[in-house]
Chain A
Amino acid sequence: MRRLSLISQLAAVLIVITTLVATGFWLQRYLFLKDELHTALDTQLHQTLARLQVSLAIPAYNVDVEIVEGTIRSEMLQREVHGVFVTENGLPSPVYGFVKNGGQQVMATATLPAKGQLISAAANLQVEEEDFAVVEVFVTPCYLQELLSQKLLRLVLEILVLVFLQVVVAALVLKRLFVRPVRQLTALSRKIADGEGGGEVRQAGSMELAQLAASLYRMRDSIRQSMAELADNNERLRVQIQERMEAEENLRASRENIKTILNSLGEGVISTDRHGLVKTLNPVAETLVGLTAEAAMDQPIDQVLQCRQQGRREPKASKIIANLLETGSPFSLLQGIVLVCQDGHECNVTCTGTPIYSNEQEVVGCVLVLTDVSEQLKLAAQLRQSQKMDSIGQLAGGIAHDFNNMLAGIMGAASILQLKARDDEQTEKNVEVIMESAQRAADLTRQLLSFARKGDLVKEQVDLHEVVAAAVAILRRTVDKSISIKTSLTAGEHTVFGDKSQLQSVIINLGVNGRDAMPDGGTLQIATRNSVLDEMFCANSPFAIEPGHYIELSVRDTGTGIGKEISERIFDPFFTTKNVGKGTGLGLAAVYGTVRGHGGLVHVYSEPGEGALFKIYLPVQAREEGLAEEVAVESGMQYGTGTILVVDDEEMLRNILKESLEMLGYEVILAENGQVALERYRENRGGIDLVILDMIMPDLNGKETFAALTALDPAVQVVFSSGFSREENFKEMASLGAGFIQKPYNITELSQLVARLVGQNGRAGEG
């Protein structure tokens, strides 16, 4: 609240006192005036009555109405006279009566007014000493009140002016005698307070004020001395405070920097005090342990950080941390540490602990650094699996190649025997057994090649939904009725570039695998949908795949499910959980190889008793109309004529092939390697219609030989043969105009291919 100045307070006191005195005076004057005015009114009333008594007697006695009325009206010109009545003796009502209405207008009436506030007086009218009438005059005090108010108002104004003048004069006097010296002293004390030293007070006023001024001077001197000391102390304090503030600022910046670093670290960092109570928890650590820093603050470390050795249940870290805090021995747990989050979630971490030392080299706490290696371990496992599969694939491919070469001989010889033993029924049956066994061996080898991605892939635009439909049709005929097959084909883009038959085999293999997992029946669900695999997914995948649009083909069964250990090996060739003779262990391996051969990837998700879900991702191929050409499939053995150069480093295969071709009507020239083949072609320039060229040969391989032959004769007609075929090489050969035939040869397929090619160059089919 704002305090009033001294002059204002004194003026207020003066105003109050003067007002009280003036009010008393006013009250006394009010009572006096009121009494005086009442007396005056009474006097006026009786004077009026006396005049009327004299002036009305004769006219009233003579019934001179005009004079009587004129006399009364003239008296009623007085503002205070309200009414005059003349009542003659013996008459019931006044013979003359006049009153004023609300204003000053006089009106005649025979009715006496109600007394009310009116004051009246009456007198007899006499003639010849005989009373003959009474005159009564009424006066009103209302004008008296008005007059009294006017007088009082004037009195109030006079008092106010007087009070004002008194206050002004008193204020001036007080200001000169008291306020001005006090103000000077106040200014002096303010200057002293401001440290300006003051000055001298010119007019001290009263003795008390002079003493006050002297005291102020003494106080000023004392303050000056104290201020000087205080200034020195302040300066010292200021320097200290400045230093402290700088230190605090540095500390704050350092803390902020540490906090920023901690927040930016990819590792979780936890610090504790010497009692193992958590003091710091950076955001990564918050995520790892599943607690906020606020929640973990001052909690025991073994409640916040719960680690165990993989495969064990007992805590791992708490004892080591306790030891660290006790002895200061750092530790590193780099393998097999499982961190159990607060919500039960587990992750693989590495954990290192380092003591925090005080300046006295005492352990005052520790710092724990946690690194989440779950993803790293997962990728490593996937990489290992991928590498293993590649290794196995290499091995399987090599074996299959050799097998195919062997089977080529067996099946070629068997085919010759079959042609020659048409009349020997027993021999023919035996040859058929050889052929069927060889064919099964060939199928097995083909699956091996599929797994190794070295099979004969005939890629084209394939509608995967058609493939699924065809596979499902086969499966419905194959599986038990207790198994329900459902499809949900929702992929909008369902065209892939691949081998239709191999993709169909993939679905059938997975379906058969599901069937075998559901001996008591269940549901086999095959579904498609579109997915986009982004760069991050592809980069983190152990498979070499390209980002882009994929079609996800999923096959789910409700069977017995697959354990983790089995699922890690499920795509291994010859790995099977089925009884001997029930499976080859190549079905899922072939699925794996085919999918990878199509640039896709395959995952299996399963838990024991929960069924299994296989997800295959294949790159979507934009459909190009008209590319897919239906090739008329020739059926049956095709015979022909012409000269064919057979180039193979395997003598048995050369001979079998020679005999087979000759049986089909062709002339055959043999060459055991590329150089011999070039010589034979040069020797028979223009006489060789077709060259059957083995891909894998010592010295000049098939490709090099093909290049040399083409150099000799750009129009040379070549068919490559191989136990396995890499897709890229086959493509290249195909682009050069060469054909391809997979070992082991099927005599019928061979006859059809040779007949078609020899026929194309015009030299075949003439015979």
Chain B
Amino acid sequence: MMQRLTFLMLCVSLTLAATSGAAGPAKPLIVSGHPEYPPLMWRDGSSLQGTGLQLAYTVLSELGVDFEIRYAGPWKRVQRDASLAKIDLVAGIFYNEERAAYLDYSLPYFGVPVAISTARDQAFSVTGWQDLVGKRGVAPHGDSFGQEFDQIIKERLQVTSAYTMELCLQHLIAGKADYLVSGYYPVLTQAATLGYEEQITVVKRNIVINNTFMAFAKESPHRHLLPQINALIKKMRDDGTIVRWNKQHLEYYQATSQQLWP
């Protein structure tokens, strides 16, 4: 089973690469996403892997669009490039009002929990965001946690950012931060991948659950595809395809992360 899945993923990547290379003289639709958000999205060399990319690949292929899946740098940079229309389609992203200014969102296709993690020896009980008040938090640079929780962080909490998940984890371990705000799966997967799993504990698994969307850059010439994409998302969300893909990608990440991540 694992071999089949691995194979499948490799095929997808190759296909993506081939599709990108088969682009005609017209400018292809550029697809990118978060490089550190497994199993939804993560960097795979100069490309990306994950549930969101699987969905984009499937949808765009079915629509017969010439496209290219591209690693475009850190997550914040991806968002900046989308605002500049250097990226046409973000494969997975939470909604907030700032992003809605330059992105047109698709239908949500997957629910993602946001977790609170601490150093294992500095763990404290968290039942809601009120337990975080007065403590030093850290979050990956550029990550949003939905409009509502972003507002709470901004107004009530003291959260700094670090450019990578590894730096966030190191902040926790080093005591520079009391807690980490991040996606539940990313922290688990990357702590395990980076060897910090014994030093980190998730104290609140889902302090908030956010929907994940696909989003077109408002300046993109391809945004007219959004209704067709929404139709396909709805179909695959409703028939459980996306949930299945996510489970497969989580397994795949756990199995291949040591190889994929230098």
In whole angstroms, how far apart are the Cα atoms of A133 and B253 in the complex? 32
In whole angstroms, how far apart are the Cα atoms of A58 and B162 in the complex? 11
Select from chain B the residue with minimum beta-carbon distance to A60: B77
Contact A63–B142 (Cβ < 8 Å): yes
- A481 CB to closest chain B CB (Å) equals 147
Report B-chain residues with C-beta under 8 Å of the C-beta of A62. 74, 76-77, 141-142, 163
Contact B73–A61 (Cβ < 8 Å): yes
- A38 CB to closest chain B CB (Å) equals 39
Contact A90–B86 (Cβ < 8 Å): yes
Q: Mark A443-469, 1 if CB is under 8 A from B, else 0.
A: 000000000000000000000000000
Q: Mark B44-87, 1 if CB is under 8 A from A, else 0.
A: 00000000000000000000000000000110110110001010
Contact B80–A64 (Cβ < 8 Å): no
Contact A91:B76 (CB < 8 A) given known A62-B163, A63-B142:
no
Report A-chain residues with C-beta under 8 Å of the C-beta of B79. 63
In whole angstroms, how far apart are the Cα atoms of A91 and B77 in the complex? 13
Select from chain B the residue with minimum beta-carbon distance to A58: B163
Interface residues of A in 327-376 (CB under 8 A from B): none
Contact A63–B163 (Cβ < 8 Å): no
Contact B141–A64 (Cβ < 8 Å): yes
Most B CB atoms within 10 A — which of A62, A91, A127, A132? A62
Size range of the interface on B? 10 to 19
Q: Mark A58-90, 1 if CB is under 8 A from B, else 0.
A: 100111100000000000000000000000001
Select from chain A the residue with minimum beta-carbon distance to B163: A62
In whole angstroms, how far apart are the Cα atoms of A90 and B141 in the complex? 23
Contact A91:B84 (CB < 8 A) given known A62-B74, A64-B76:
yes
Select from chain B the residue with minimum beta-carbon distance to A90: B86
Number of residues on chain A facing chain B (CB within 8 A): 9
Q: Indicate which residue in A63, A127, A132 contacts B76 across the interface (CB closer than 8 Å).
A: A63
Report A-chain residues with C-beta under 8 Å of the C-beta of B76. 62-64
- B138 CB to closest chain A CB (Å) equals 14
In whole angstroms, how far apart are the Cα atoms of A62 and B142 in the complex? 8
Report B-chain residues with C-beta under 8 Å of the C-beta of A64. 76, 141, 161, 163
- A92 CB to closest chain B CB (Å) equals 10
Report B-chain residues with C-beta under 8 Å of the C-beta of A58. 163
In whole angstroms, how far apart are the Cα atoms of A62 and B79 in the complex? 10
Interface residues of B in 114-159 (CB under 8 A from A): 141-142
In whole angstroms, how far apart are the Cα atoms of A62 and B164 in the complex? 10
Report A-chain residues with C-beta under 8 Å of the C-beta of B80. 63
Report A-chain residues with C-beta under 8 Å of the C-beta of B77. 61-63
- B3 CB to closest chain A CB (Å) equals 31
Interface residues of B in 70-115 (CB under 8 A from A): 73-74, 76-77, 79-80, 84, 86
- B101 CB to closest chain A CB (Å) equals 16
Select from chain A the residue with minimum beta-carbon distance to B79: A63
Report B-chain residues with C-beta under 8 Å of the C-beta of A63. 74, 76-77, 79-80, 142
- B76 CB to closest chain A CB (Å) equals 4
Select from chain A the residue with minimum beta-carbon distance to B76: A63
- A110 CB to closest chain B CB (Å) equals 14
Interface residues of A in 32-76 (CB under 8 A from B): 58, 61-64
Select from chain A the residue with minimum beta-carbon distance to B75: A62
Report A-chain residues with C-beta under 8 Å of the C-beta of B163. 58, 62, 64
In whole angstroms, how far apart are the Cα atoms of A91 and B79 in the complex? 15
In whole angstroms, how far apart are the Cα atoms of A311 and B141 in the complex? 156
Interface residues of A in 91-130 (CB under 8 A from B): 91, 127
- A80 CB to closest chain B CB (Å) equals 31
Report B-chain residues with C-beta under 8 Å of the C-beta of A132. 73
Report A-chain residues with C-beta under 8 Å of the C-beta of B74. 61-63
In whole angstroms, how far apart are the Cα atoms of A90 and B77 in the complex? 14
- B153 CB to closest chain A CB (Å) equals 15
A-B contact pairs, 18 of them (CB 8 A): A61-B73, A61-B74, A61-B77, A62-B74, A62-B76, A62-B77, A62-B141, A62-B142, A63-B77, A63-B79, A63-B80, A63-B142, A64-B76, A64-B141, A64-B161, A91-B84, A127-B73, A132-B73
Residues of B within 8 A of A (CB): 73-74, 76-77, 79-80, 84, 86, 141-142, 161, 163
Which A-B residue pairs are the 4 nearest by beta carbons?
A63-B76, A63-B80, A62-B163, A62-B74
Residues of A within 8 A of B (CB): 58, 61-64, 90-91, 127, 132
Other A-B pairs, 11, CB within 8 Å; known A63-B77, A63-B80: A58-B163, A61-B74, A62-B74, A62-B76, A62-B163, A63-B76, A63-B79, A63-B142, A64-B141, A127-B73, A132-B73
